[in-house]
Chain A
Amino acid sequence: MSAPGQEWDENSPERLYVITRGRSGLAEQTTFDLVTLIVSRSEPEPSMQPEHAAILRLCGAPLSVAEISAYLRLPISVVTVLLADLLAEERIEARSAVPQAILPDRALIEAVMHGLQKL
């Protein structure tokens, strides 16, 4: 039994559903996608769940949901749930990634490219 015990050691005793209190992010899915940028608006407080506090600490600078997920080593869905909590308490701000409209038109870029090549 010792060998599997050692393997298990790498993990944590708590399971993901405890962290999200049973929510799986089905409802929160629409609010966030992988590249939504998150910025914290307040300092973490001692009474917060450690994951919330960690997100607030991480997001001092804008960070995408995917990156938060990677740093916390938590699946996207879990992070989404946690972010939804924080958003509801207005502790974070979520900015969608660069909207499609702001990006220059592909045709325009191609025209510029061709123009440059002709020079």
Chain B
Amino acid sequence: MIKGTKDFWAGAVFVAFGAAALMMAQSYSLGIVSRMGPGYFPRMLSILLMVVGGVSIVRSFFVAREALPAFALRPALVVIGSLVACGYLLPRAGLVIALSVLMFGAASASEKFRAEWKKLILLTAATIAFCAIVFVQLLGISLPLVGSWFG
């Protein structure tokens, strides 16, 4: 039976991360002490991380349990999804559309969204104008206002 404690799951994440890093490090050569290869450090760190993760898992069975708090999956996915969409749209649809998608997408995760979406339109317009003037025009960051889909 899996005990749902923070120690257990943190340990599990560490072991998984360490194992993945160790697997990928197999192709880097180890070298010798005076000419340590590029594989030495990654392997050492991955193994250490797995050991630390293992200790954390073992500990989870003995030490007083800190119950795992619930993961709020929906807001997390909405925020992350909006960011990814914004990254995808920036060069293609341009800054105006990409930032609108990010603002509204992210804002929809809030419970206040339904009541306040009209104010949000104003805020979005102001934010986009600010970004276009400060970042694109004044600082000269190479970002298209209108992306390649429309040009």
Q: Do A and B bind each other?
A: no
Residues of B in contact with A (beta carbons under 8 Å apart): none
Chain A residues engaging chain B, CB cutoff 8 angstroms:
none
